[in-house]
Amino acid sequence: MTDNHALAQKALAAVDHGILITDPKGVIVAVNPALLTITGFTEEQLVGARPSVFNSGAMPREYFQRLWTTISSGAVWKEEIENRRADGSLYYAYQIISPVIGPDGTITAYVAIQHDVTANRQLREELQAIFVNTQDALFLLNVERDGELRFVKVNPEMERLSGRSSEEIRGRTPAEAFPGQTAREMNQRYRQCLTTAAPSEYEETLSLPGGTRYWNTRLYPVMEDGKVTQIVGCSRDISERKQMEEELRYLSEMDTLTGVANRRKTWEELEREVSRAQRHHHATSVLMIDIDHFKTINDNFGHETGDAVLRGVTTIATATLRPADRLGRWGGEEFLVILPETPQSGAGILAERLRGAIAESRLVRNHTVTVSIGIATLPQEVNISDPIEVVAQELLRRADANLYRAKEGGRNRVCTSET
C-alpha cells in the first residue's frame, strides 16, 4: 500500500497539468506541483481550503450550482473557466472534474485537472479581433459527414460585402445562402479545394445581394487524419482595382474624343482579321476614310467645331456600318474601317452609303462636310504563308493609295484599285 501511495505521489508530481483532490465536501486534500506553478499558491495555502480560493468573480453563482449538481450525481464536468491566481491576476483553465466512486457506490473524492489555456485564449482573442476587424471577407466551411459543405462562421466584412447577415449564412450550404448561379460557382471552387486538398487562389465575379463585385479569393483546407474537415476562405474586394484596370485598358485601346478604337487597337484587330481571312480563305476589305478640308474647318470654325465633326462622323459611321464591321480612328481626321468577309463589291456599296450619309448631314452650319474613301480588298486566294504583318501593311498601303486617288480626283469620292 505504501509503495502504491509513493507511486501515486510521483505520478502527480510528473504531470504537467494542475491537479487537485478534494474530499466529498469539497475541501482540498492534495495538490500537485504543476497546480502550484499555475496558480502561484503554496501547498500550505491550498490544502484545507476550498476551490473557491480560485474564484475570480467572473462566474455567476448559478454556474457553481450546476457544477456541484453535475459532479455530485456522479457525472464528469468539463468546461473552460476564468480563475484567479494568488497574486490576483487572472488565468484561463480548461478543467475536468471527475468524482471518485467507492466500492459502495458513494463518492469518496473529487479529482480536478486544470490545463492552463491562457496563452491559447489570448491567441484566440487576438485571432478573433483580426477576424472581426480585417478588411478582407473571411469565412469558414465545415465538411459534413455526408460531404455537404456548410458555412459555420463569417466575419462582419463578409456580411457587408455579400449583403447577407451571419444568421442568413451560418449553418447553410452555398446553395441555401446565395442565388443560383453564384452558389454554383462558389460550390465548384470549394469542391475543387476539397478534392485537391491544396490551397487555391483565383479571381471571381459574383452577383450577390450586396451587388456585383470582383473578388480575389484564397481557400485553405484544414486537414485532420489525412482528410479535409474544414475550408478557410479569405476574399478581398478588388472591384475598385478591376474598375481602374478597365479604365486603363479603355485609355490604352480607345480614342477618348470619338469613343472608337485607337490606332494601336485598330491595328491589332486588322492583324486578327487578316489571320482569320488567311485561315478560312475569305475576302476582307478595309476603308481608309479622310475628312475633306478638315484643316479649313478647324481654321474657320475653331477646334471645338473640328472635334464635333470628328464625333459626328463617328456617329454616322457607327449607324451606317454593320455590327461585325470595326471602326477605328487612324489618326487626325483619318478613320479605318475593317469589313470582315466582304469582297470589293460589297465594300464599295458600304463606302458609297457612308459617303452619302456624311455629305447629307449638317455637322457644321452653312458648311457641307464630306469625306474621301479609299478601298482595298484582301482576295480569297491570299497566300497563307505570307506573314500577317506584311499582308496587313500591304492592304493599308493600297487603301491609302486609293484614298490619295480619291483626293486627287476632286474629293467626296470613293476609289478602289479599279476606279
Domains 2-122 and 254-415 share a fold: no
Query: What's the predicted TM-score (pTM) here?
Result: 0.54
pLDDT < 70 stretches in the chain:
1-9, 11, 14, 120, 122-130, 132, 380-384, 418-419
User: What local confidence, expressed as pLDDT, does residue 23 receive?
Assistant: 94
In CATH, the number for domain 254-415 is: 3.30.70.270
| Torsion angle (degrees, nearest 10) of CA 349, 352, 356, 358 | 110
Task: Please give the CATH architecture assigned to the domain spanning 134-241.
Answer: 2-Layer Sandwich (3.30)
User: What local confidence, expressed as pLDDT, does residue 22 receive?
Assistant: 94
User: What local confidence, expressed as pLDDT, does residue 179 receive?
Assistant: 81
Residue 215 and residue 189 in contact, taking contact as beta carbons nearer than 8 Å: no
Q: Say which of 333, 360, 381, 394 is annotated catalytic.
A: 333
User: What local confidence, expressed as pLDDT, does residue 380 receive?
Assistant: 60
In whole numbers, what is the pLDDT of the chain averaged over residues?
Answer: 88
CATH fold label, 2-122: Beta-Lactamase (3.30.450)
Distance CA 51, CA 28 (A): 7
Planar angle of CA 11, 121, 46, nearest 5 degrees: 45
211-224/200-208 β-pairing: antiparallel
Q: What's the pLDDT tens digit per position in 164-196?
A: 888 888 889 998 988 888 889 999 999 999 999
User: What local confidence, expressed as pLDDT, does residue 281 receive?
Assistant: 85
User: What local confidence, expressed as pLDDT, does residue 1 receive?
Assistant: 45
333 carries an active-site annotation = yes
Q: Domain residues of the chain, as ranges?
A: 2-122, 134-241, 254-415
Q: Which residues, in sequence order, are CB contacts of 76 under 8 Å at separation 6+?
A: 70, 96, 97, 98, 99
In 3D, which of 283, 354, 358 has the Cα closest to residue 321?
354
Q: Which residues, in sequence order, are CB contacts of 99 under 8 Å at separation 6+?
A: 71, 72, 74, 75, 76, 107, 109, 110
Residue 330 and residue 266 in contact, taking contact as beta carbons nearer than 8 Å: yes
